[in-house]
Amino acid sequence: MRTLIGIPVLLVVLALGALYAVYGEVDPCRVLAVERARRAEAQSGLPIAGAMERWSRIETSQLSTGECTSQLLDSWGERLSHRFR
């Protein structure tokens, strides 16, 4: 019985730890803002991540947690589809 409860809890802790390690955030809207800023910087080649992250946080503050999560998963899916072409 412990295993049935322990494994999902461990998976959630690992997922949140991975988010924090990569993005420095665990809130989906803040993670989305960081993701958008990093992608914009990579596309432009200019060091604009700091300013872009502030702007993205303003945009994502208007979204619900579910909308941020959905857009974040879409962004990751898009990134993976470009990588494996």
Residue 14 has what pLDDT?
96
Residue 1 has what pLDDT?
73
Q: Mind listing the pLDDT tens digit for each residue in 12-71?
A: 999 999 999 999 999 999 999 999 999 999 889 888 888 899 999 999 999 999 999 999
- Global confidence as pTM: 0.86
Residue 35 has what pLDDT?
95
3-state helix/strand/coil string of 23-74: HCCCCHHHHHHHHHHHHHHHHHCCCCHHHHHHHHHHHHCCCCHHHHHHHHHH
